[in-house]
């Protein structure tokens, strides 16, 4: 099986998955003529929390929209990311969810905006993932705990 986590991240754990990944690399190389690839070895170093968040958000959007996860389009992904963050912030008031941009010329603060999930600490992401998992369960969707998040859940239990 090959699992495409995001546009630049794959998990390959079978021969058919390896073949599919190689085809993807071949296509990208023929199109761009230059690639830089990195990898991690071993199942123990599976999905980081941000990658898991994007997998879950895709699954959740598909569930809410009644479609296959591969049919979820970019606009729907952006929508669920923003709405999930807003709902979490509204329910918890967690300050880490927002940042107040500062104008470097005037020093004035702009209206608060939602932070990118890639900037959350491990603990902040863990809290957000807990909320997302419970919220999805309330909507009839079970989101499987994987990777760093699953390890943190075991430690927290």
Per-residue burial over 26-41, b if 16 or more Cβ lie within 10 Å, else e, is: eeeeeeeeeeeeeeee
Q: Which domain holds residue 139?
A: 46-156
Domain count, the chain: 2
CA distance linking residue 62 with residue 76, whole number of Å:
9
Per residue in 10-64, pLDDT (tens digit) is: 667 778 778 888 888 899 899 999 988 877 665 433 468 888 999 999 999 999 9
**Residues 29 and 52 grouped into a single domain:** no
CA distance linking residue 82 with residue 64, whole number of Å:
15
**Residues 69 and 32 grouped into a single domain:** no
Per residue in 53-103, pLDDT (tens digit) is: 999 999 999 999 999 999 999 999 999 999 999 999 999 999 999 999 999
Give the DSSP H/E element, type plus range, for residue 137. helix 122-138
């Amino acid at each position: 099986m090959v699992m495409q986590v995001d546009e630049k991240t794959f998990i390959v754990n079978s021969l058919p998955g390896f073949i599919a990944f190689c085809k993807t690399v071949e296509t990208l190389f023929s199109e761009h003529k230059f690639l830089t690839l990195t990898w991690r070895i071993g199942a123990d170093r599976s999905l980081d929390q941000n990658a898991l968040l994007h997998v879950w958000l895709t699954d959740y959007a598909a569930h809410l929209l009644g479609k296959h996860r591969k049919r979820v389009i970019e606009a729907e992904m952006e929508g669920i990311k923003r709405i999930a963050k807003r709902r979490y912030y509204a329910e918890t008031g967690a300050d880490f969810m927002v940042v107040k941009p500062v104008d470097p010329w005037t020093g004035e603060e702009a209206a608060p905006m939602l932070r990118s999930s890639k900037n959350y600490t491990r603990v902040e992401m863990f809290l957000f993932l807990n909320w997302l998992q419970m919220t999805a369960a309330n909507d009839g969707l079970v989101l499987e705990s994987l990777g760093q998040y699953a390890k943190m859940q075991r430690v927290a239990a």
